[in-house]
Amino acid sequence: MSGIGVTGLILLVIVALLLFGPSKLPELGRAFGRTLREFRKGASELIEDEEDRKKRSLPPEPAAKTASDAASADGNGRPDGRRLPE
């Protein structure tokens, strides 16, 4: 298993507290949060740019006629052109 369990997380916090001291931990947390936010922002911008490129490279698809459009064009209410008995 590659995941860090609760005990591993507690151990990391204790080691960080011993290495950096209680006054530096909030500052390190803020810096880590800013870094993570910038990384996510950059990744989402890359994904959006890629989607925009794909949209521009694809030719526009012609609008397909739906069954309701065909029925209204015939005027008889049936898409296949047949009429119901009256």
Residue 30 lies in a domain: yes
How many domains does one find in the chain? Answer: 1
Residue 9 lies in a domain: no
Residue 62 lies in a domain: no
* pLDDT at residue 8, as a whole number: 92
Residue 2 lies in a domain: no
Residue 50 lies in a domain: yes
Rounded to whole angstroms, the Cα distance separating 70 from 83 reads 14
- What is the band of 45 on the pLDDT scale with cuts at 50, 70, 90? very high
Rounded to whole angstroms, the Cα distance separating 80 from 70 reads 8
Residue 49 lies in a domain: yes
Residue 85 lies in a domain: no
By the 8 A CB rule, do 79 and 71 touch? yes
Residue 10 lies in a domain: no
Q: Which domain holds residue 49?
A: 20-56
> What is the pLDDT averaged over residues 34-56?
90
